[in-house]
Amino acid sequence: MQATAASGAASLVSAAAAVTPAISLQNVVKTFGEFTAVKGLDLDIRQGEFFSLLGPSGSGKTTVLRMIAGFELPSSGRIDLAGRDVTRKAPFERDVNTVFQDYALFPHLSVAENVGYGLKLRRTSRGDRRRLVAEALEMIRLPHVADRLPSQLSGGQRQRVALARALVLRPQVLLLDEPLGALDKQLREQMQVELKQIQRTVGITFVFVTHDQEEALTLSDRVAVFNEGLVEQVGTPEDLYERPSSRFVASFLGNTNLVEGELARGLTGSDALLSIRPERIRIRQPDEPLEAAGMSSVEAVIEEIVYTGPSTRFVARTSAGQKLIVQEQNDSRASSAHRGDRVRLEWSSRFNYTV
Amino acid sequence: MRLSRSAKITLRIFAAAVMAAIYLPLLLVIVNSFNATTSGAFPITDFTTRWWEAAFTNEGVREALWTSLRVATVATVIALLLGAMIAFALSRYEFFGKNTVNLLVVLPIALPGIVTGVALNNTFKTVLEPLGIGLGLFSVIVGHATFCIVMVFNNVQARLGRMNRGLEEAAMDMGANVIRAFFTVTLPGFKSAFLAGGLLAFALSFDEIVVTTFTAPPGTETLPIWIFNNMARPNQAPVVNVIAAVLVLLSMIPVYLSQRMTGDDRK
Ligand SMILES: Nc1ncnc2c1ncn2[C@@H]1O[C@H](COP(=O)(O)OP(=O)(O)OP(=O)(O)O)[C@@H](O)[C@H]1O
Ligand SMILES: [Mg+2]
């Protein structure tokens, strides 16, 4: 459903833009000595998309980003930007800008000079440069720091200046390598909202590297999940969360119950691995009737209860020994199950996803 | 760190003794250059500026000073260019034999000056002289450049190693080619280390004597060599004091400035 909606929206964009991806990686391989960091990657990133590369540490996300920027040469394969082959082009010959993980602001230049650096290289006139820099600082809501040195800024301010410095050049594609990684949780969440707003306003394709699944799900139009140099799955956040295509994706994106063997056979009649999200499961009394037709149900004993503020997590175990985690909102419908209670777990059968 | 009272006092006495051992003789030289008697007898009874006048009108001194300035300046310029270039190449590019090059560049500072001197002397006499390049100002400059390069190289390399390589990538990301990135981002980053190295090189060249002895042709004197040759002559002793006083000041200023410069970047 989500997939058709997305492709419907894409077809509204001009036909040319829809067929030519902003970035196209074709069978890209990158080896460092004996070690293969990226193992044959095919990826199309659409124009104007907020696209995330998500994966655990060492899975090759930064390497892919650096190849798109031109800092690393692929060992084999091909990279196109807007339909043009740039595989062997130097970084300064690509219409791509990067926001570095450590921001890489020039310490000897003021904020305004940092933001104006690329414009100066392009021989933008002094007047235009001043106006564009002022606008960029306005956009990140930091017009008053123009004359400061980077060392005189807070972490969040540095991050925004790095963003302004890259965006002021209006590249076709903006690459961001864990730009929020160095910020504390609160600032991080605030910056996520701002980043998304800025991306919508400027309409530039964003390629965003993160190992934080929540961040990827909330910000992205589409996400590629990396694992050991390979892409496990590409899709919308909903695709990935609700219909994971592999055990890795199912367990990497949020918590899930992976069910196989006897219980899985009982639920679906096949041997396939099932993924059941904890928040889909309800806790009922053993003698209560099923809520509706088409429900899956199993009896279990509550082993552990963890209170986490807005929700409570229950760890339950079936008589066959299958552990099931249940996540319950702490609202009026909350069950009052206790440790050791015998309960019946119940969920709609359409949430039994075959992985 | 907190120190006990007695430890503090002991440390102070030691520090004072070391300082005295280093700087009292220097002070003595400067004071003596104003001593009216030629024997340098103490205590000083008559002050005079006669020796200073004599020194500045002395033809040999003037010539030696001019030679020293030329050698130090040219050797420093060579050291700045080559030292910085080698440091940049070694810290930014991987190539075969990198460690060997590194070792060969810093070796002259560890080698006894006499070895460098003899080696260069032999090279010029046996290989280069038949080609028309005998001992002369050029050979002195080459001799000095061997250890001056190390000053610049060491300073610049240490700084480049601490600099964020991401800065150069960021510059290229925004459209700077390799040369632009070097001049707009890398050079400003190591500029002060570069200048500090240059000042040290200049100071080192200005009071060098061993390598100079072996690479200078007869009759060519730098200031230290002039002092060395004239110290034993009783009637020149006061003038030697003046020159020594000038040398102390001339080599302390660059060292002081280079200290200030490297100190500045640390904040
Ligand atoms: N220059 C290099 N030389 C050798 N190995 C490298 C180099 N760069 C990366 N690697 C290796 O390639 C693999 C992928 O690295 P990469 O930096 O792309 O991971 P990542 O997904 O960005 O991880 P993280 O989330 O920790 O940043 C790692 O195992 C890393 O050690
Ligand atoms: Mg990374």
pLDDT in tens, A68-109: 999 999 999 999 999 999 999 999 999 999 999 889 999 999
pLDDT in tens, A210-228: 989 999 999 999 999 999 9
Report the gap between the CA of B165 and the closest CA in chain A (Å).
9
Cβ within 8 Å, pair A98-B177: no
Q: Which residue has the higher pLDDT, B36 or B263?
A: B36
Q: In this structure, are residues B83 and B160 in contact, taking their beta carbons and an 8 Å threshold?
A: no
| Element of type H or E holding B128 | none
Q: Which residues of B touch A122 (CB under 8 A)?
A: 175
Cβ within 8 Å, pair A102-B164: yes
- In chain A, the percentage of residues whose pLDDT exceeds 90 is 57
Please state the rounded mean pLDDT for residues A245-262: 87
Q: Which residue has the higher pLDDT, A3 or B28?
A: B28
Q: How far is the CA of B101 from the centre of ligand 2 (A)?
A: 33
pLDDT at B236 over 90: no
Q: What is the 3-state secondary structure (H, E, C) of chain A?
A: CHHHHHHHHHHHCCHHHHHCCCEEEEEEEEEECCEEEEEEEEEEECCCCEEEEECCCCCCHHHHHHHHHCCCCCCEEEEEECCEECCCCCHHHCCEEEECCCCCCCCCCCHHHHHHHHHHHCCCCHHHHHHHHHHHHHHCCCHHHCCCCHHHCCHHHHHHHHHHHHHCCCCCEEEEECCCCCCCHHHHHHHHHHHHHHHHHHCCEEEEEECCHHHHHHHCCEEEEEECCEEEEEECHHHHHHCCCCHHHHHHCCCCEEECCHHHHHHHCCCCCEEECHHHCEEECCCCCCCCCCEEEEEEEEEEEEECCCEEEEEEEECCCCEEEEEEECCCCCCCCCCCCEEEEEEEHHHCEEC
Q: Which residue has the higher pLDDT, A177 or A139?
A: A177
pLDDT in tens, B183-225: 999 999 888 889 999 999 998 898 888 989 888 888 888 888 8
Pocket test for ligand 1, best of A28, A34, A39, A61 (most atoms within 8 A of CB): A61
Q: How far is the CA of A217 from the centre of ligand 1 (A)?
A: 23
Candidates A95, A96, A108, A207: best to mutate against B (most CBs of B within 10 A) is: A108
Predicted TM-score (pTM) of the model is: 0.76
What's the pLDDT at A1?
40
Closest Cβ opposite residue B185 in set A100, A106, A169: A106
Q: Ligand 1: which atom is nearest the Cα of residue A30? A: 12
- Cα distances (Å, whole numbers) of residue B53 to B202, B207, B239, B244, B249: 26, 22, 9, 15, 18
Cβ within 8 Å, pair A165-B174: yes
Alpha-carbon gap, residue A177 to A215, rounded angstroms: 13
Q: Which residue has the higher pLDDT, A194 or A268?
A: A194
Atom 5 of ligand 1 has which residue's CA nearest to it?
Answer: A32
What's the pLDDT at B267?
36
Candidates A62, A67, A96, A106: best to mutate against B (most CBs of B within 10 A) is: A106
Q: Which residue of B has its CA nearest to A105?
A: B167
Q: In this structure, are residues A29 and A73 in contact, taking their beta carbons and an 8 Å threshold?
A: no
- In chain A, the percentage of residues whose pLDDT exceeds 70 is 95
Report the gap between the CA of B193 and the closest CA in chain A (Å).
14
What's the pLDDT at A109?
94
Pick from A167, A119, A111: which is nearest to A142 by CA? A111
Residues β-bridged to residue A227 = A230
Q: What residues does ligand 1 touch, defined as CB less than 6 Å away? A: A 32, 35, 37, 55, 57-63, 211
- Ranges assigned E (strand) in B34-96: none
What's the pLDDT at A301?
93
Please state the rounded mean pLDDT for residues B110-135: 83
What's the pLDDT at A18?
55
Q: Which residue has the tokens 């031109």?
A: A70
| Predicted ipTM of the assembly | 0.78
Burial class (CB in 10 A: 0-12, 13-18, 19+), B172: buried
Residues with CB under 5 A from ligand 2 (ion): A 62
Show the domains of chain A with their CATH numbers. 13-252 (3.40.50.300), 257-349 (2.40.50.140)
Q: How far is the CA of B83 from the centre of ligand 2 (A)?
A: 35
Tokens of A6: 């997305």
Contacts of A163 (CB under 8 A, 6+ apart): A99, A140, A176, A179, A195, A198
Q: Would you identify the CATH topology of the domain B41-265?
A: MetI-like fold (1.10.3720)
How many C-beta atoms surround the C-beta of residue B189 within 10 A?
Answer: 20
pLDDT in tens, A326-351: 999 888 777 778 898 999 998 988 88
Alpha-carbon gap, residue B171 to B136, rounded angstroms: 45
Closest Cβ opposite residue A118 in set B169, B174, B177: B174
pLDDT at A114 over 80: yes
